[in-house]
Structure 1
């Protein structure tokens, strides 16, 4: 392999998953040679809802990232207004504040943290991976003991390593843009669902600088919806939304048991279809999977260690969200869950844990939904008697 550059780890993609993977690897072994490749030059924009759950900040804090600097220029998000498909509304305070950090800022700051930790960043678009006895050859130019694919929904690494692609019915599409946050309450995230083209919802995520990230997404069925359709649905659900320029992106939703790589090639974040199928949340999954893969890359058995740690921390959660995604194809169940959240803080907190963190279907949430269902049935019965 004369002429190859040798690296302990090559990370493809410098978004949150890739930068976190580099940070985690260097946290385990500060002397490791870690190369991060990305086709873009930073700072660069990335189409996303920009929501950063406190669970993601916990992971980054554990890797030594200064989350105060990471979220600088934004304001904490303390409340959530959730409107169900048939119009049930729950407005409650988060147990812990979330953040909204535009990806142009978030990604550049995480890249800077990875470089400070010792990673090298280069602008390079990869085309091929070739397994070798000692690791993986990348484009005939780099040789790595382990490669981590963090190159997003259209991952080249995923295709090159032969991992399963997203199965039909598990990909969503969304449009988002930035506009004035003026029409909406400050420090409040808003999700508005609709039975039309269900599952689908619009969102408002205020940044805290006078602007808001606003968008709409829905599940792709037989063919992707048009930009005109998506734009019309956004304004139908958010009629007070000012004009804005929209950009689109695909979201490969988690199938419950994602394929996270082959051999010495590991997949993280969107490249592994690690996006919450209930909410479209991906940054927590990205930084958690990135941190686990980066640490695993420094062990004698990267693939085995990564799968075991991901299963331990997210396995049950992913199975539960997959089951819930199938159940919530019935809008009535989402109405019921929203009613339970409206009526009780515990049910609200449990829903947030499932949608933004590693939560599972809790007995308390099921009990709250049953109580709400029985109460609604009794009220309906009384109204008929009267």
Structure 2
């Protein structure tokens, strides 16, 4: 039996941020990260990183310049509503697009250099006792953090059910040459066809873009329809390496269980229901889980309160906005409002990519532009 102070299942951004947070708070803590993959490894994702996610990592002592080296800032965002209204502006702070095959390996390397340990291991069972948690009869710790993604083994071991189909999206992603006029611009486009559905094109700065298309699982979409949707919404795109993945949306987020087992990132259904963004949520929830781990048997309760304080108002706003966005006319009105006012545009970006709220200013501006 191998012992640690904190076991982290999953070496992606949520797990790495968790390990970094534990070591930041308790430099003598023994943190063991388990993942079935060897790093670096690819992860199906849009690859866009909001500046707020980098802020969280910087506080944890991560060298964000090294993390994003070779991938230039992306200063603009273009948003197209389902009825064709389009806005393109500079964002308040630029994002960066780094392939997960690069990002996750660089991040985990920094965390391991900071003193955390790593084992390549496929987790199959989790057993919780009054004093500790065991994984597969091989690893033991007072606290375990499940940061093992949308198909979380830890979540299933806790008996937490998966998201309902209407709270679960599926998307397909590949890489393609940057489309004309989109270098330096993150593009998010929506359509009334198979609504709600969206496509994206995020430039990497090397002539390529991460491109993809997604919609709700409840619509019964097939892989062929995902590919067709991508080509329909991004005409002329020629992607390679297409892979699909599921996105458990925050509208189906479960209550964090009390006790010694914590959930972070996708395992906690922390995916923005408006944009599918998850890296900011992942690193923030991972950091909060790392801090909560010091509470031992009360770690779950501590994390639950911390998540509510830090993200509760935002998650309620994004959930409400997700419901309102089911009416395409409202979505286009919001885009028209963003065309007219930079502050509204900034509100919309913060709500979709970070921890912004559905402000009275944006609601009023949207209602004024209903047609």
* TMscore range, shorter length: over 0.9
- Distance, in Å, in 1 between the alignment partners of 2:66 and 2:43 is 20
Residue 296 of structure 1 pairs with residue 325 of structure 2: no
2:231 maps to: 235
- Distance, in Å, in 1 between the alignment partners of 2:327 and 2:132 is 47
Q: Is contact 1:21–1:291 with CA below 8 Å preserved after alignment?
A: yes
1:247 maps to: 243
2:260 maps to: 264
- Distance, in Å, in 1 between the alignment partners of 2:39 and 2:82 is 39
Residue 221 of structure 1 pairs with residue 253 of structure 2: no
- Distance, in Å, in 2 between the alignment partners of 1:239 and 1:130 is 50
Alignment RMSD (CA, Å): 1.2
Structure 1's unaligned 5+ residue stretches are 377-386
Among 90, 95, 99, the alignment partner of 1:93 is 90
Which TM-score applies when normalising by structure 2?
A: 0.97
Q: CA deviation at 1:371?
A: 2.7
Q: CA deviation at 1:233?
A: 0.9
Greater Cα shift, 173-182 or 72-81: 173-182
Q: CA deviation at 1:243?
A: 4.2
Among 19, 24, 27, the alignment partner of 1:27 is 24
1:382 maps to: none
Alignment of 1:339-358 (within 5 A): 339-358=336-355
Distance 1:157 1:256, change over 3 A: closer
Residue 208 of structure 1 pairs with residue 205 of structure 2: yes
Q: CA deviation at 1:73?
A: 1.1
Which TM-score applies when normalising by structure 1?
A: 0.93
- Distance, in Å, in 2 between the alignment partners of 1:7 and 1:163 is 25
- Count residues with an aligned counterpart: 370
- 1:281-308 deviation digits (Å, cap 9, x = unpaired): 0000000000000111023431121111
Deviating beyond 3 angstroms after TM superposition, the runs of 4 or more aligned structure 1 residues are none
Structure 2's unaligned 5+ residue stretches are none
Q: Is contact 2:252–2:269 with CA below 8 Å preserved after alignment?
A: no
- Distance, in Å, in 2 between the alignment partners of 1:36 and 1:256 is 27
Residue 156 of structure 1 pairs with residue 137 of structure 2: no
